[in-house]
Amino acid sequence: MTRQAARHVPVLFDEAIEFLRVRPGSTVVDCTLGLAGHASEIVRRLGPAGHLIAFDRDAEAMALARKKLERLCGEPGSEAPKVTLIDEPFGSVERHVKPDSVDGLLADFGVSSLQLDEARRGFSFLADGPLDMRFDTRTGSTAAQVVNEASERELADLIYEYGEERRSRRIARAIVRGRPVSTTGQLARMVASAAPAMKRDRIHPATRTFQALRIFVNHELDEIRTLMDSAPGLLRKSGRLVVISFHSLEDRIVKDSLREGARQGIWEILTKKPVMAGEEEVEKNPRSRSAKLRAAEKTGTEGPRD
């Protein structure tokens, strides 16, 4: 196991497991397996009659998670549940999970340490590497293809919409003038030069642009919308949905979907306000600062209330 896998700690771990309410013999779907941080604890709680179904489209993460779970299930005296791993985006969950069959559904939309810390994956501007950003490196366009082939207007719109970057036009102009772009470091320098950090900024000036490209390349918001639409039909009555988001675009989709579902009598929202990491967790793991956890319990399938 790599150093990244060994030190990976899920954000809001205790809170997510508590809201998920894993019971022996239940069926739980982990939509974002990652390095099996949450899944390992779920497996421990499910017992031999339980079933974990987990999704991840990152082949490298899936291979590491599989080994970790196999080792856990093979421990002496362990009463291992059934484990089904599916190397596809979680938006495909309806194709693999039967309706009204799930007791708990978890989704953590954060980028894993494995992806961020490996320069060759091209997610981070902190270490220079090829500009890729794909969760599934077997398919789809890379971030390099996007920044080199899109028009200036398309780039500006993309950076504004998915990165909520107000200086998107200035950044897009600098990228187009400096093309071709092939590495994360090259792109980060272009962005920082076109839109330097402002005094009150706590983030690198390239953060929003990198976020926008990652979301676009991986169709992340479409996947989240599909999941939120699918969740009520997959969960049994009293089943729990737990979602951890990391920026406003994700959280807005989750919040609006849960509110509409509550209005229709489908959800009881368990988190009137999102749960956020405490000071101790933020100090240990700065990435947790922006995390928001929302949870809901399925109450039924009634139509809209008067």
Amino acid (one-letter) located at 177: R
Cα–Cα distance, 109 to 32 (Å, whole number): 7
Rounded to an integer, the average pLDDT of 109-125 is 64
Domains of the chain by start residue, with CATH: 3-114+220-298 (3.40.50.150), 119-218 (1.10.150.170)
Tens-place pLDDT, residues 254-269: 999 999 999 999 999 9
Q: What is the band of 233 on the pLDDT scale with cuts at 50, 70, 90?
A: very high
Pairing between β-strand 235-245 and β-strand 292-298 as defined by DSSP bridges: antiparallel
Element (H, E) at 294: strand 292-298
Name the average pLDDT for the chain: 89
What are the DSSP calls for 41-60, one per residue?
Answer: HHHHHH-TT-EEEEE---HH
Question: How far, in Å, are 5, 62, 117, 131 from residue 1 at the CA level?
Answer: 6, 12, 14, 25
Q: What is the pLDDT of residue 6?
A: 42
Q: What is the band of 236 on the pLDDT scale with cuts at 50, 70, 90?
A: very high
pTM (two decimals): 0.90
